[in-house]
């Protein structure tokens, strides 16, 4: 899920299975502490401080973990401009579009169980839902939704981001979000990032299971993995427990506190609240084969080219997951997602060697250089020598 910015970001095709050899992927993070040889990450620390220094973002935090060094984390800047409270690594944050990886995982589990057919038209599950203005659910498959090749616009683009106070506290029903999307002209590109795709995927899950997508994500992923700080907020505009304040550029104003926000506008494509540690644990378990069988994981990691203006250069999209080459690691891929919501930007993933990292800033980057600095920080964390 995204919101418009000066440069839009959301935060090789593999036919085989990406089953990462992640040591201890399912073990509690607290059980893996860094050893003396791994406690220093000067390049990552410098890049993190650059986000809050040179790029003047309010706060930034990162957690890195893996089989060679256990868990390492650092924070910079402030969690709260009013009180001056420093940023922390262990607090809850909005993860935005990383929710898509959770939703896609549930869909693929249902495919494995025979309750869904990945290449079936969505008309089969949501009859009559996508019709009119040139859109036809009989020509769009479930797979198309998950990899953003449906040809559907993004309802997020239709929201008034210069006047968020008019709608930030209100509830949006999925039908309303879909109507907002269908009222827009068709995208011109064959690949078009659209949170509407995942709103529809969530409705399909509800149709075949009889349960809301939030219940299925909780039952199938959050509970089994013990993600104690990850939850679906529903209509609550507040973040439970300890959390940084989130800031954004709104209209002509420089910066505003937008921590309180109804995430119903993101739904199955962007609603979840989590922590850096829980996100690292989720992606390690997902790519390590704990949530999907090899056939379904191969489907998820079969990627297509993307639009760099709606993601980032060289990114490829699978089914709810993104592959990105790490130039500093010789072009090796990392797998993950990113999220953009009012007040929070997250980015993270896992390498084939098992190192994983999650990064968050509680501010809106105001320039392309700031956006690039986020990517640089993550890439440094994933590539810095042990």
DSSP β-bridge partners for residue 317: 304, 322
| Pairwise CA distance, residues 296 & 302, whole Å | 10
The per-residue DSSP string of 316-373 comes to: EE-SS-EEEEEGGGTTEEEEEEEEEETTEEEEEEEETTS-EEEEEESS---SHHHHHH
| Pairwise CA distance, residues 245 & 344, whole Å | 9
What tokens appear for 345 in the block? 């930007």
Beta-carbon contacts of residue 45 (< 8 Å; ≥ 6 apart): 74
Fill in the DSSP letter of residue 34.
P
| Pairwise CA distance, residues 74 & 86, whole Å | 11
The residues annotated with a catalytic role in the active site are 97
- Please state whether beta strands 316-317 and 304-305 pair in parallel, antiparallel, or not at all (unpaired): antiparallel
| Pairwise CA distance, residues 52 & 233, whole Å | 28
| Pairwise CA distance, residues 17 & 287, whole Å | 9
Cβ count near 161 (within 10 Å): 16
Beta-carbon contacts of residue 34 (< 8 Å; ≥ 6 apart): 69, 70, 71, 72
CA diameter of the chain: 62
What tokens appear for 6 in the block? 């000066």
Residue 133: CA count within 13 A, CB half-sphere: 15
Q: Dihedral through CA 336, CA 318, CA 195, CA 237, nearest 10?
A: -30
Cβ count near 228 (within 10 Å): 12
Pure H helices in 210-345: 213-217, 223-225, 276-287, 294-300
What tokens appear for 340 in the block? 């953009």
């Amino acid at each position: 899920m995204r919101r418009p910015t000066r440069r839009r970001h959301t935060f090789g095709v593999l036919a085989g299975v990406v089953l990462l050899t992640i040591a201890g992927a399912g073990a509690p993070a607290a059980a893996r502490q860094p050893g003396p040889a791994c406690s220093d990450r000067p390049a990552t620390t410098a890049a993190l401080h650059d986000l809050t220094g040179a790029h003047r973002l309010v706060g930034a935090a990162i957690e890195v973990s893996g089989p060679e060094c256990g868990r390492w984390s650092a924070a910079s800047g402030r969690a709260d401009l009013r009180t001056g409270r420093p940023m922390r690594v262990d607090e809850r944050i909005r993860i935005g579009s990383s929710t898509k990886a959770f939703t896609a995982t549930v869909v693929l589990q249902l495919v494995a169980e025979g309750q869904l057919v990945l290449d079936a038209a969505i008309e089969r599950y949501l009859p009559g839902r996508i019709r009119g203005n040139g859109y036809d659910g009989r020509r769009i498959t479930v797979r198309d939704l998950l990899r953003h090749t449906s040809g559907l616009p993004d309802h997020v683009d239709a929201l008034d981001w210069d006047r968020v106070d008019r709608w930030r506290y209100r509830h949006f029903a999925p039908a309303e979000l879909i109507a907002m999307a269908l009222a827009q002209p068709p995208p011109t590109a064959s690949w078009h990032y659209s949170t509407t795709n995942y709103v529809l995927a969530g409705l399909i899950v509800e149709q075949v299971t009889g349960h809301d997508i939030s219940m299925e994500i909780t039952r199938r992923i959050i509970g089994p993995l013990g993600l104690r700080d990850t939850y679906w907020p529903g209509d609550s505009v507040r973040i439970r427990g300890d959390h940084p304040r989130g800031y954004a550029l709104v209209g002509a104003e420089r910066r505003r506190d937008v921590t309180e926000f109804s995430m119903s506008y993101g739904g199955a494509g962007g609603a979840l609240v989590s922590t850096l540690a829980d996100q690292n644990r989720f992606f390690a378990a997902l790519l390590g084969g704990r949530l999907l069988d090899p056939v379904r994981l191969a489907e998820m990691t079969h990627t297509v080219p993307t639009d760099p203006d709606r993601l980032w250069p060289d990114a490829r999209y699978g089914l709810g997951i993104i592959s990105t080459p790490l130039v500093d690691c010789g072009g090796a891929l990392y797998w993950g997602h990113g999220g953009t919501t009012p007040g929070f930007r997250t980015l993270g993933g896992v390498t084939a060697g098992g190192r994983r990292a999650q990064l968050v800033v509680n501010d809106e980057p105001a320039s392309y250089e700031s956006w690039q600095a986020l990517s640089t920080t993550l890439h440094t964390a994933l590539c810095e020598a042990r």
